[in-house]
Structure 1
Amino acid sequence: MRLFLLSVGCWMVIAGSAWAQQPALPGAPQPTTLPTSALIGPGTEVIGQTYSVELRSGTSFLGTLRAATSLDLTFDTKDLGVVTVQRANLRQLVPISAEQARRGYDDVGNGTRLFFAPTARNLRRGEGYVQDIDVYLVGANYGITNNISVGVLVPIIPGLGLNVFAVTPKVSVPVTEKFSVGAGLLYANAFGYGAGIGYGVATYGTADTNLTAGLGYAFARGETSSTPVVVLGGAVRVSRRFFLIDETYIVGQGIGGLLGARVAAARASGSLGLLYATDLGGIYPAYLEFAYRFGKVVPKR
């Protein structure tokens, strides 16, 4: 039981700094893929594609792109009619799937994590988030490219300063539209003592609904544990703002994890997870998080 809790604790630190949002289960509607010939000039916008649009003013809407120039974009929207926006006023422009458009779901992230556990989906280039976990842990992650991200996690406990910290780089590669693989590392240092976990992970789904499986090995003082940490989890978006999430850890004969929910808007989200484990004797609140996404996600011309 002690080995189980230690291994799970290390894995949780990994993902806490590594992240809100979730891929699609088998049988879910496939996103619409438009032909390359529909690309507008040298840019990456696609005529006929539906986008989640966010302006610098804070206004956001869903719209289908009908025209694009070097200065502005024109969308058909359900409630606002035809809307033309200047590129200079764009804060974020993210393509969404046909299923998201049908349900009226805007973009709330790329499904990069469950609670603590990372998925094989990555932050997009220029996108990041900051988070506060259980009050005393503060983290940040940033997408260096569409395939590489890096994160940090530090406790905000008086007297510790920067003597305790963790870094969490991750590399992700999309194999197909809905299947991605990735690998990452948690390295934590406390008062000169270093330890961590190296892991591999695979995710099937979309940013809204996904299944993830991962395998990690802890290391410290030049030695690697012979007992792996297996992670199984998933997330389901059940409404515009509400997700159900589970992540289960298996270490030897021990099983435990977090079960709960996330409420997510375009930039901000809040999560609550209940801890369960072998011989724990109940289910207890253990994970409370607030996160804020930042950055500009706009196709380049």
Structure 2
Amino acid sequence: MCGWRFYSCLITLILIIFSPEISVAQAHPTDSLKIAISDTSHVQILKLKDGSEVIGRTIEIGEDDILFQSNLGTNRVRKSDIAQITTIPRESAKPGGYWFPNPNVTRLYFAPTGRMLKKGQGYFSDYYLFFPGLTGAFSDRVSVGAGFSLFPGVGLEKQLYYLTPEIGLYQSERLNFAVGGIYAAAPGWDIDGDDIPTFGAVYGIGSCGPPDAFLTGGLAFAFAEDDFEGRPAVLIGGQGRLSRNIAFVSENWKFPGADFVLTSYGLRFFGSRMSFDLGFFNTMGGEDGIGFPGLPWVDFVYNFK
């Protein structure tokens, strides 16, 4: 019964993500009611009231109609027949239709990337169902996330709490650098009678490439209370968009003193605001591997803006 409920929720989530109505409604139009002539670096999605869509450019605006240029030719369209016009960057217009911006360029699976949220943006995330969190941007260079665990049968006083601040050092279309950290506490937990100390890591991270295909690398230094690990953990990962709604994601770590590399691979299914990750973590090297395909990774993210 639990398995059936899980797969029912998974199927419902994927249907919501791929719903064309949701994707169009959240395609971030310049102005769905205002018609303007676009420059050559942008194209427009012309949606008519009969449900048909055409990608092209408005080249002339009349009193009752517009002159719209597309691969079907140049045609006059009555304003009364237009339901919506969305202006998008030319590179977002693909042979299969409009590719909305990738909603999750600031994170791989667990690790962040060098890209930052824009001011006012934020998202709700949930890892393995038991680790919900919220992240928001106070500016284009500063964001803060916070979350806690929801272990069944455990009171709030014994849950895990964490904070994840991040500062963007350099941001551009293809090169991005950031520093940040994760600070976690587990009040009420103990090991052999000793309280678990606060712990976490500080990191520096960079991403290279456009939003739809980039590599990420970074160094992270772990700490527990005031005891810092002098050797860094090394991160190498990336994300590559395979289609309008699917991307490949990989996040790989080499921890100091470990004789193995923690590897991961999987797919990210997304709409214009929501995404669902299904991946696997495995080990490379070392004496005892996890075994193919690896430990499953599942998470869900909803972007507010």
Equivalent AA in structure 1 for residue 127 of structure 2? I
Q: Which residue of 2 aligns with 1:290?
A: 300
Using the alignment, how far apart are the partners of 2:108 and 2:54 within structure 1? 25
User: CA offset at residue 263 of structure 1?
Assistant: 0.4
Higher relative contact order structure (alpha carbons within 8 Å, sequence separation ≥ 6): 1
Deviations 1:137-190 (A, max 9, x none): 111111221121111121112423164210101112335431011101100011
Distance 1:289 1:239 in 2: 20
Give the aligned partner of residue 174 of structure 1: 170
Superposed displacement of residue 102, structure 1: 3.2
Q: Which of these two proteins has the greater Rg computed from alpha carbons?
A: 2
* 1:191 equivalent in alignment to 2:187: yes
1:179-229 alpha-carbon deviations (Å, 9 max, x no partner): 011101100011073111000001001221110000010011211102211
Separation (CA, whole Å) in 2 of partners of 1:264 and 1:270: 6
CA distance in 1, matches of 2:115, 2:149: 26
> SS where residue 108 of structure 1 aligns?
coil
Structure 1 unaligned residues grouped into runs of 5+: 1-45, 54-58, 68-73, 296-301
Correspondence 1:56-75 to 2 at 5 A: none
Secondary structure of the residue aligned to 2:126 is strand
Greater shift after overlay, 183-192 or 209-218? 183-192
Structure 1 residues 263 and 76 mapped into 2: Cα distance closer, same or farther (>3 Å)?
farther
User: Could you tell me how far apart the structure 2 residues matched to 1:258 and 1:292 are?
Assistant: 22
Question: Do the aligned residues in 2 keep the contact of 1:49 with 1:65 (CA within 8 Å)?
Answer: no
Rounded to whole Å, the distance in 2 between the matches of 1:139 and 1:129 is 8
Q: For 1:151, what is the secondary structure of its paired residue?
A: strand
Structure 1 SS opposite 2:303: strand
Q: Is the 8 A contact 1:236 1:243 kept in 2?
A: yes
- The Cα shift of 1:288 comes to 0.5
Q: Taking structure 1 as reference, are residues 143 and 94 closer, same or farther at Cα in structure 2, changes over 3 Å only?
A: farther
* Partner residue in 1 for 2:276: 270
Question: What is aligned with 1:228?
Answer: 232
Q: CA deviation at 1:273?
A: 1.2
The residue aligned with 2:141 is 147
The number of equivalent residue pairs is: 232
> Which whole-Å CA distance do the structure 2 matches of 1:230 and 1:94 have between them?
40
Query: What's the counterpart of residue 115 of structure 1?
Result: 109
1:18 matched residue in structure 2: none
2:256 is aligned with 1:246: no
Q: What's the counterpart of residue 160 of structure 1?
A: 155
- Structure 2 stretches of 5 or more lacking a match? 1-37, 46-50, 60-65, 189-196
2:24 is aligned to: none
SS for the counterpart of 1:99 is: helix
Q: Is the 8 A contact 2:58 2:67 kept in 1?
A: yes
Q: Distance in 2 between matches of 1:121 and 1:164?
A: 27
